[in-house]
A and B are shown apart, each in its own frame.
Chain A
Amino acid sequence: MHELSSAQKKYLLQQKREKQFIAVMRVLLFLSFLLLWEISARFGWIDSFIFSSPSLIGRTFLQMCIDQSLFTHIGITVKETLLSFLFVVLLGIGTAILLWACPKLSAVLEPYLVVLNSLPKSALAPLLIVWLGANQKTIIVAGMSVAIFGSIISLYTGFKEVGPEKGKLIATLGGTKKDELLKVVLPSSVPLILSTMKVNIGLCLVGVIIGEFIGAREGLGYLIIYGSQTFKLTWVLMSIVILCIIAMVLYGILGFIEKRYIRRM
């Protein structure tokens, strides 16, 4: 490797410093928020019965870890989210393929998809409870309902964008629509599928929490509702913090898979 010029070194150093500054500021912002919250609660500037405090949340967290009830709630919510995500992936890709393969079907269904996609899914949750009962099936369906229509629409649009030119290539090589799907459309849509799924896993979590709000005896959504009804707001806030972490981890896993795939390309 050849020697870097001093100007280049200076530039790299500057870039590195800037990156470090941003990272430090992020942590500082978080810590000062916690500190301000804690102090306000201690000095009675805010009512810690309603607003809780970081130390209260921490203590509750430890206590629930010790009696292990927290792990059940987290486990249930994560399991339901992953299951509904799995179904969204399968059903979403499957339906998008079907729409791509039958232009007439997609023309017929298009307005329905648009309406269903823009409908606030939380409005469906009470119906689902009545129809399917207060069980995990309902919650998984609620999770799916938030993500499924949007993912069908964006996958189908992506499949269509591969374009007629590639289809012509396959046709000139003697291929059929099936070859076009397997050799061109699906392989070229892998990045799209991954990025759609990265968004969807968060949406599934939203749907699962909505479902747990009204039809569960376990899970973080249940913990939030139960906590707010019994005025244990520390429970609510702790659950929200845990939800933040779960969302970050799930998104991070899919982001990691996406990065790995792009690097392999």
Chain B
Amino acid sequence: MKPLLEVRDLSLSYHTLQGETTALSHISFSLMPGEFLAIVGPSGCGKSTLLNVICGLLPAEQGVILMDGSPIRTQTSRIGYMLQKDHLLEWRSIYKNVILGLEIRGKITPEKKALANEMLKTYGLDKFANARPSQLSGGMRQRAALIRTLVLKPDLLLLDEPFSALDYQTRLNVSDDIGKILKKEHKPAILVTHDISEAISMADRIIILSARPATVRKIIPIDLGLKERTPLISRNAPAFKSYFNLIWKELNQNA
């Protein structure tokens, strides 16, 4: 099987008047179709920078990123990006927020509108279609933000610590929700997080990055031996703990 996304020997530095800081150093990995990849690493190591480069917001200084064999620059419309905060616009209703991407891309068609309504219904937000974002709970807002991304039908989803702004209980619920949604939609995704449990509970493979400048320390395939896998069920799997310890050790080795 050919990989959906290939990152080859990627390097990037930040430039300021005070000097140059290497953020990413010779990073290589690939993502298979339908695969859920998690990237963990110490905070400030450049995880978010990596996502910004993948989705084309930042140009790479060295190395190539290929999606289905073509350079990523030509493919950015196929990528959906979910940010840390939901950034729902308060002056728009939930429905209007959800179709923001369609509006921007000039793709408001009856079919797309129907899709947006259907997704709101599937994910339990249809009653709030005309509500303002402030009337929703943190978890519901995050779901609305996800629908805003998914309604564009991206072939690859990037998640930049999308649960970190939520309280712990909501966080478990929303990550379970979103894990299920992504499974259902068969979306390949890359999740960036500093939460090891979250990574193990959602990902098929985990990439461990080192402290800055970020390099790939290790890539660990996750196999919890479960038939039906959701993030919450995964957390109770017997193998969960040993994966946790393995990653914990790896992260702390030269911290």
Contact = CB atoms under 8 A, between A and B. Distances in A.
Contacts of B104: 170, 173-175, 179, 183
Contacts of A173: 100-101, 104-105, 148, 152
B53 to A, nearest CB: 13
A177 B244 CA distance: 43
Interface residues of A, number: 17
Interface in B66-117: 76-77, 80-81, 83, 85, 87, 89-91, 100-101, 103-105
A190 B80 CA distance: 29
A172 interface: yes
Interface residues of B, number: 20
A172 B89 contact: no
Contact of A174 (B87, B91, B105, B148): B105
Given A183-B100, A183-B104, A172 B91 contact: no
Contacts of B178: none
Contacts of B105: 173-174
Interface string B31-70: 0000000000000000000000001010000000000000
Interface in A112-128: none
A171 interface: yes
Interface string A178-200: 01000110011010000000000
A188 B91 contact: yes
B57 A171 contact: yes
- Residue from A165, A168, A172, A175 having most chain B Cβ neighbours under 10 A: A172
Nearest to A165: B87
- Residue from A166, A169, A184, A187 having most chain B Cβ neighbours under 10 A: A169
A190 B92 CA distance: 13
Contacts of A172: 55, 57, 80-81, 83
B83 A169 contact: yes
A79 to B, nearest CB: 34
Given A179-B104, A183-B100, A183-B103, A174 B90 contact: no
A174 B77 contact: yes
A166 B84 CA distance: 12
- Residue from A166, A168, A174, A175 having most chain B Cβ neighbours under 10 A: A174
B79 to A, nearest CB: 8
A168 B91 contact: no
Nearest to A178: B104
- Residue from A170, A173, A187 having most chain B Cβ neighbours under 10 A: A173
Interface string A90-118: 00000000000000000000000000000
Contact of A188 (B81, B89, B132): B89
A226 to B, nearest CB: 49
A169 B55 CA distance: 12
Given A168-B83, A184-B89, A174 B100 contact: no
B90 A265 contact: yes
Contact of A265 (B81, B91, B103): B91
Given A183-B89, A183-B103, 18 more contacts: A165-B87, A169-B87, A172-B80, A172-B81, A172-B83, A173-B104, A173-B105, A173-B148, A174-B76, A174-B77, A175-B104, A179-B104, A183-B104, A184-B89, A188-B90, A190-B91, A265-B90, A265-B91
17 contacts: A165-B83, A168-B57, A168-B83, A169-B87, A170-B104, A171-B57, A173-B101, A173-B105, A173-B148, A174-B77, A174-B104, A175-B104, A179-B104, A188-B91, A190-B91, A265-B91, A265-B132
The 8 closest A-B pairs by CB, nearest first: A172-B81, A173-B101, A175-B104, A169-B87, A179-B104, A187-B91, A173-B104, A174-B105
